[in-house]
Amino acid sequence: MPNYKAPRRDIQFVMHEVLAMADHYKTLPGGEDMDVQMIDAILEEASKFSENVLAPINASGDEEGCSWEDSEVTTPTGFKEAYAQYVEGGWPSISHDPDLGGQGLPESLGTMINELSGTANWSWSMYPGLSHGAMNTIEAHGTAEQKQQYLLPLVEGRWTGTMCLTESHCGTDLGLLRTKAELQADGSYAISGTKIFISAGEHDMVDNIIHIVLARLPDAPQGTKGISLFIVPKFNVNDDGSLGERNLVKCGSLEHKMGIHGNATCVMNFDGAKGYLIGPANKGLNCMFTFMNTARIGTAVQGLCSAEGAFQGALEYTKERLQMRSLTGPVAPEKSADPIIVHPDVRRMLLTAKSFAEGGRMLAYYLSQLNDTVKRNASSDEAKEAEVLLSLLTPIAKAFMTETGLESANLGMQCFGGHGYIREHGMEQIVRDARISTIYEGTTGIQALDLLGRKVLMTQGESLKTFTKKIHQFCKAEADNEAMAEFIQPLMAANKEWGDLTLKVGMAAMKDRNEVGAASVDYLMYSGYVTQAYFFARAAKVAQDALAGNTSEADFYHAKIFTARFFFTRLLPRTNTHSATMLAGADTLQGLDEEHFCF
């Protein structure tokens, strides 16, 4: 099993040198006292917890899985104890309102912690991870009484939360959902229906689970305009905060799935369960987007975790595994063969995973920085721009980072050769765990439609211009810097082409709306490569400036420049294929009649 070590130095590079998080925190209410030392202290403690508590139960949790009996779920050995340590350490409360038991620190610190725990043990990290979305939803849309009753135990980690959307006949198309909500005499609602694929829907780690449930009122309009949102606790909560009787919601079964075996993926049956309306009636989908956007950024981080875990496992193995001699002559003549890390193709695989991990880290942490600004400076012009950028970049991050995370997982396994296919090395687990990330919280295709259709074309390209303008300004500032030319010139060209392609696809879509669906995934992947190229160029600039000074970490900064160069020369050219494919036209997909799809 890969021996996980938190990438502390690279996280510090992103937090302190690329994004200047300490300066950012000083602009936020509640972040005034944050400095580099405090960030590093939190990083150090979160790293120890992830390395020493979570990583050792990752493989065993996968092997053992969760068990179901009479509606109750037992998590793998060590999961419950690890969660107790997590709560004791105060980790669930770190980014929440002090008036509700939180520590009031910026949410971006939670992204850092999510990366560390997720790479160490993704299945375990999903239990507290879903709770943050539930907390954000109640905090944003709940009444004062709901916040008082449910948020404090959630913030303290005594309870956890879930998101209950999917039904067997409707996944993405939530307008088809059938779960009913009927008003009761006491003002509550009776919730009836079945939800599937509910992560952490039932488990033994806490005393109560708070389900955030989409359901339809009897007189609701058809489709998505008739969906309302409800709080449905596993145990009803008394006025004094104590737990009452068991609610009529139970886990009907556990899904038998490809990966993330340590997390309980449940079928949840609501049989007249007592629920409480959150937000306005028939506006549930609007309210649920608070939860869904939190979850999409969290899933993007899973892509980062997959790439980082695969890279670490493969790097350790390729340094030790002896196979053949270097094409240029023996590198380790005292040994029977050279370590496989000397071979160009192995380097290709390692550097690809390394690039996607480091590029994904910069993008994910940048999104968390934007989220801080939106939540804590909501009325400022800066926050309005941050909201536009967050809206644009979230589908890119979710889809691109999970697709490249899965690619990295496969490459990491490939580095092991046949041994990668064997369970004891742990690489095939990363592949199995990573595979779901491109599906849940909206598939790659759905994220692509959201990006191109809603975020770009429906704003007539204005949201895209907000970001491409930032890239342009960076390129303009470095235009005369000869040392940056290898990054600036291709970035400028790609940034311009991004706008040109958007116009071409948009014009084609005016004649045939299928053009949006036909181009969307290639458009998203193109967008992901250009976005990460921007961050790699920024990283290269930081590294060059550091090398120009009296740094004691020359090797680290040289590696940064080398990785940026690899991304620009080996990965960014993939945009050429995506460009050609997105312009190939909808007819190349829609031109074959259904009856001619035959075998």
285 vs 191, which has greater pLDDT? 191
Return the H-helix or E-strand segment holding 182: strand 180-183
Q: Is the pLDDT of residue 549 over 90?
A: yes
CATH of domain 288-444: 1.20.140.10
What band does 291 get if pLDDT is binned at 50, 70 and 90?
low
Cα 148 versus chain centre, distance: 29
Q: What is the pLDDT of residue 377?
A: 79
CB-neighbour burial class of residue 345 (10 A; exposed 0-12, middle 13-18, buried 19+): exposed
Task: Name the residues annotated as catalytic.
Answer: 441
pLDDT per residue over 495-517, tens digit each?
999 999 999 999 999 999 999 99
Q: Is the pLDDT of residue 1 over 70?
A: no
537 vs 284, which has greater pLDDT? 537
pLDDT per residue over 32-84, tens digit each?
889 999 999 999 999 999 999 999 999 999 999 999 999 999 999 999 999 99
Give start and end residues of each alpha helix (H) in 416-443.
427-435
The answer for residues whose C-beta is within 8 angstroms of residue 532's C-beta and 6 or more apart is 359, 360, 362, 363, 400, 567
Q: What is the pLDDT of residue 30?
A: 82
Average pLDDT for 92-96? 90
Please, what is the Cα angle at 347 between 342 and 351, to 5 degrees?
145
What band does 522 get if pLDDT is binned at 50, 70 and 90?
very high
Please, what is the Cα angle at 95 between 8 and 84, to 5 degrees?
80
**N-term to C-term CA, the chain:** 42
Rounded to two decimals, the pTM is 0.97
> Cβ distance 146 to 100 under 8 Å?
no
The three-state DSSP-derived secondary structure of 249-296 is EEEEEECCCCCCCCCCEEEEEEEEEEEEECCCCCCHHHHHHHHHHHHH
Q: What is the pLDDT of residue 594?
A: 86
Decide the pairing of beta strands 208-215 and 159-164.
Answer: parallel
- Whose structure tokens read 């995973």? 353
Please, what is the Cα angle at 45 between 120 and 105, to 5 degrees?
105
Q: Is the pLDDT of residue 239 over 80?
A: yes
Note the maximum CA span of the chain.
Answer: 83
In the chain, where the domains are located? 288-444, 453-589
Angle, helices 514-548 vs 574-582, to 10°: value is 160
Q: What is the pLDDT of residue 598?
A: 81
Q: Is the pLDDT of residue 163 over 80?
A: yes
